[in-house]
């Protein structure tokens, strides 16, 4: 084909047609992008709502859990004071006589607002004169109680210890409340108190129920621990009354947004509140008993009920449950903000796409006028060559870069033809040499070289974790006798007959001749899985040949066989499996010789 000036001028309407196609494609792309963009917006809205809901719920749950952890850490800190006193008392028992000698007699509470070491008796049957030794002994607690009280003046109002003999020793700044001018002694039957009764059953730190102290000390909880003498006998309970109003308020002070609120419950699901006329949990949450049960039984501690999200977490030390209620409208406001941002991003994206499309039209128009047409012609020539006509040569239509590419293409095809002929000759020679190098000349099966390569590859696979393999060793019997008696040509017949018998039995595994009368089979696939059946078949075939008296001596093949599969308790390499197979074969060969 030869182009003239007229045919070249006809390229102008072609460019225009191509430009129309580009413009139409661009318009379709814009419409499709708009539809796709709206679909993306709807999908993103739904996806973002679910994602934001999960994230915000997770954030709420994290905040509530952090509050619970902080409260638990504070309580753990309080426990250290009780542990300190308990250890101190029990160490006192180890040196009781010395403590008694160092002690002093102290009396009932006086009318004072200051911290003071005081005593109370459980009842009137307990006499102070009978407890002189205990009074001297427990007066030693003042030195540790004083340090604790001074360090926690706004937190601990009273530290005290009640003994089994009826003496209640305390370090108390509210002692004036128990002061009585009518009696030399103050009495308090603490044997009936919750902290003493519970202390007899506990083995370590424990808490009493939360209560509002009747003496105006705020929201109070008692932390206590039993103490024992040097022989491990229960001797009493030491306690401290902690004002946890601040801790309680801090626990509930969580800013989760407008309309959100927090509350705490005890182990029985009763609302914990310092208010005397407190509401029930159902009243403040507006949840039905069934909904409340569903909330408390949820394993994740977070649930959506009605128009709110409820979160709970446990404060293990005191058995409280910290809960938060967050209206969904707070979460929806965050989602709406995100959706507005997405809309703005989509609009901006469409504007940028429109600008890019305009630039693309300009560039395409220029490209079509200068490159497309000669490239199409060149493409047709290349198609002919690519379909296999290596004698075809592309035509040079223009004396420019496209023409240079065409010339280079023709040169490349010429060189490719030369290279292909050389490669074909080289490959044929290589294939022939490879077959000679890895095939046994007598039997046509793989030889010792191929076997060595197989063992190397199998060891690499073994090192990579593939342990499903095994070996079969076969040794042809009486080969030397056949060679000596009937000639080596008859020996070759016996070898080939034995080889054919092995290949017919182990059809899915490679067979190697590694010596004059030795064969190795690398078990694969169904041969590996059915080795017992194949061994039986092989031995049966050998037995039939051996006993067939109509055959020539060199045709009555006899062979010893042994096998081994990988065993992780015995084998550490491919060679160890191969060695076990070889041993098994020689063991069978020895039996065959002994049996005649």
What is the DSSP code string of 386-439?
A: HTT-TT-------SSHHHHHHHHHHHHHHHHHHHHHHHHHHHHHHHHHHHHHHB
The reply to whether 455 falls in a domain is: yes
Answer yes or no: do 509 and 423 share one domain.
no
> Distance between CA 568 and CA 565 in Å, rounded?
10
Per-residue pLDDT tens for 118-128?
A: 889 999 899 98
Structural domain containing residue 542: 448-594
pLDDT above 50: residue 281: yes
Per-residue pLDDT tens for 174-197?
A: 655 555 555 578 888 999 999 999
What's the confidence (pLDDT) of residue 496?
A: 93
What's the confidence (pLDDT) of residue 8?
A: 46
Answer yes or no: do 99 and 235 share one domain.
yes
Q: Are strands 559-565 and 470-476 parallel, antiparallel or unpaired?
A: antiparallel
Q: Which residue has the higher pLDDT, 421 or 442?
A: 442
What's the confidence (pLDDT) of residue 11?
A: 47
Per-residue pLDDT tens for 360-393?
A: 667 666 666 666 667 777 777 777 877 777 777 7
The reply to whether 260 falls in a domain is: no
Q: For residue 170, list its beta bridge partners.
A: 118, 160
- Give the pLDDT band (50/70/90) at residue 427: low
Buried (b) or exposed (e) across 439-463, using 16+ Cβ within 10 A?
bbeebebbbeebbeebbeebeeebe
What's the confidence (pLDDT) of residue 332?
A: 66
Answer yes or no: do 568 and 427 share one domain.
no
pLDDT above 50: residue 359: yes
What's the confidence (pLDDT) of residue 513?
A: 95
What's the confidence (pLDDT) of residue 586?
A: 94
The reply to whether 583 falls in a domain is: yes
520, 473 Cβ separation under 8 angstroms = yes
Block residue for tokens 């902290």? 195
Q: Which residue has the higher pLDDT, 56 or 538?
A: 538
Q: How far is CA 212 from the centre of its chain?
A: 47
What's the confidence (pLDDT) of residue 336?
A: 65
Per-residue pLDDT tens for 36-69?
A: 767 776 776 667 667 767 777 788 888 888 988 9
Per-residue pLDDT tens for 61-117?
A: 888 889 889 888 989 999 999 999 999 999 999 999 999 999 999 887 776 667 788
- Give the pLDDT band (50/70/90) at residue 277: low
Answer yes or no: do 427 and 527 share one domain.
no
Q: Are strands 320-327 and 261-265 parallel, antiparallel or unpaired?
A: antiparallel
14, 342 Cβ separation under 8 angstroms = no
Answer yes or no: do 498 and 432 share one domain.
no
The reply to whether 129 falls in a domain is: yes
Answer yes or no: do 427 and 541 share one domain.
no
Residue 231 to residues 90, 91, 228, 234, Cα–Cα distance (Å):
10, 12, 8, 9
DSSP 8-state assignment for residue 371 = I
Alpha helix ranges (H) inside 479-565:
479-486, 488-505, 525-529, 531-547
pLDDT above 70: residue 335: no
| Total tally of structural domains belonging to the chain | 3
pLDDT above 70: residue 3: no
- The stretch 403-411 carries a mean pLDDT of 77
Answer yes or no: do 410 and 504 share one domain.
no
Per-residue pLDDT tens for 9-33?
A: 454 455 566 667 766 777 777 777 6
Residue that terminates a domain, selected from 247, 279, 306 = 247
Answer yes or no: do 403 and 542 share one domain.
no
- CATH number of the domain to which 215 belongs: 3.30.450.20
Helices then strands (H, E): number in the chain?
Answer: 18, 16
The reply to whether 325 falls in a domain is: no
What's the confidence (pLDDT) of residue 7?
A: 46
Per-residue pLDDT tens for 289-329?
A: 888 888 888 888 888 887 888 898 988 888 888 888 888 88
Q: Which residue has the higher pLDDT, 259 or 70?
A: 70
> How high does pLDDT run on average in the chain?
83
Six-digit token string for 185? 């002694």
The reply to whether 25 falls in a domain is: no
- CATH number of the domain to which 582 belongs: 3.30.70.270
The reply to whether 573 falls in a domain is: yes
The reply to whether 84 falls in a domain is: no
Cα-based torsion angle of the residue sequence 308, 313, 315, 316 in order, rounded to the nearest 10 degrees: 150
What's the confidence (pLDDT) of residue 108?
A: 73
Answer yes or no: do 452 and 510 share one domain.
yes
Answer yes or no: do 231 and 150 share one domain.
yes
Share of the chain above pLDDT 90, in %: 36
Answer yes or no: do 452 and 544 share one domain.
yes
Share of the chain above pLDDT 70, in %: 82
What's the confidence (pLDDT) of residue 44?
A: 67
Answer yes or no: do 416 and 536 share one domain.
no
Q: Which of 322, 320, 326 is nearest to 308 (CA)?
A: 326
Q: In what order do the strands lie in the sheet with 320-327?
A: 271-272, 261-265, 320-327, 308-315, 302-305
Q: How far is CA 449 from the centre of its chain?
A: 47
Q: Which of 250, 291, 241, 253 is nearest to 269 (CA)?
A: 291
Six-digit token string for 396? 């040079």
Q: Does the pTM exceed 0.95?
A: no
Q: List, in order, residues 6 or more apart from 291 with CB less than 8 Å away.
A: 305, 306
Six-digit token string for 575? 């060679």
What's the confidence (pLDDT) of residue 333?
A: 66
């Amino acid at each position: 084909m030869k182009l003239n000036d007229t045919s070249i001028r006809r390229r102008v309407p072609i460019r225009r047609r191509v430009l129309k196609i580009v413009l139409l494609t661009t318009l379709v792309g814009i419409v499709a992008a708009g539809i796709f963009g709206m679909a993306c917006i709807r999908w993103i809205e739904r996806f973002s709502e679910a994602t934001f809901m999960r994230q915000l719920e997770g954030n709420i749950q994290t905040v509530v859990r952090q509050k619970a952890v902080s409260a638990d850490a504070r309580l753990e800190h309080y426990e250290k004071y009780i542990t300190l006193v308990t250890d101190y008392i029990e160490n006192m028992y180890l040196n009781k006589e010395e403590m008694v000698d160092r002690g002093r007699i102290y009396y009932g509470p006086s009318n004072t607002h200051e911290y003071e070491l005081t005593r109370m008796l459980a009842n009137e049957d307990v006499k102070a004169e009978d407890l002189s030794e205990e009074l001297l002994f427990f007066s030693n607690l003042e030195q540790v109680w004083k340090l604790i009280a001074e360090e926690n003046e706004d937190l601990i109002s009273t530290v005290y210890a009640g003994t089994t003999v009826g003496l209640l020793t305390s370090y108390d700044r509210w002692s004036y409340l128990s002061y009585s001018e009518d009696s030399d002694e103050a009495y308090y039957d603490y044997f009936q108190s919750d902290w003493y009764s519970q202390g007899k059953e506990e083995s370590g730190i424990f808490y009493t129920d939360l209560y509002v102290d009747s003496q105006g000390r705020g929201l109070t909880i008692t932390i206590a621990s039993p103490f024992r003498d040097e022989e491990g006998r229960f001797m009493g309970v030491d306690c401290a009354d902690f004002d946890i109003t601040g801790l309680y308020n801090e626990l509930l002070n969580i800013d989760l947004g407008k309309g959100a609120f927090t509350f705490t419950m005890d182990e029985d699901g009763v609302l914990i509140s310092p208010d005397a006329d407190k509401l029930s949990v159902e009243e403040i949450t507006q949840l039905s008993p069934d909904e409340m049960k569903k909330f408390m039984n949820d394993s994740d501690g977070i649930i959506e009920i009605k128009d709110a999200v409820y979160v709970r977490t446990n404060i293990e030390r005191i058995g409280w449950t910290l809960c938060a209620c967050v209206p969904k409208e707070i979460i929806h406001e965050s989602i709406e903000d995100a959706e507005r941002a997405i809309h703005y991003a989509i609009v901006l994206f469409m504007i940028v796409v429109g600008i890019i499309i305009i630039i693309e039209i300009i560039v395409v128009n220029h490209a079509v006028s200068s490159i497309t047409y000669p490239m199409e012609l060149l493409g047709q020539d290349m198609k002919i060559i690519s379909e296999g006509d290596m004698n075809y040569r592309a035509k040079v239509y223009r004396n420019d870069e496209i023409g240079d590419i065409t010339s280079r293409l023709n040169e490349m095809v010429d060189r490719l033809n030369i290279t292909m002929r050389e490669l074909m000759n080289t490959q044929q020679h290589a294939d022939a040499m490879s077959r000679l190098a890895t095939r046994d000349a007598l039997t046509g099966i793989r030889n010792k070289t191929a076997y060595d390569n197989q063992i190397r590859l199998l060891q690499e696979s073994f090192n990579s974790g593939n342990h499903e393999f095994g070996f079969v060793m076969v040794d042809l019997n009486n080969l030397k006798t056949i060679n000596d008696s009937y000639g080596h040509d008859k020996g070759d017949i016996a070898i080939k007959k034995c080889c054919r018998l092995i290949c017919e039995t182990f059809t899915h595994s490679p067979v190697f001749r590694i010596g004059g009368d030795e064969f190795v089979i690398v078990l694969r696939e169904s041969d590996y899985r059915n080795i017992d059946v194949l061994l039986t078949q092989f031995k049966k075939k050998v037995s039939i040949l051996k006993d067939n008296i109509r055959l020539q001596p060199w045709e009555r093949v006899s062979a010893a066989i042994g096998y081994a599969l990988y065993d992780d308790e015995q084998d550490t390499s491919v060679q160890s499996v191969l060695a076990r197979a070889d041993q098994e074969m020689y063991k069978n060969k020895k039996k065959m010789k002994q049996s005649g």
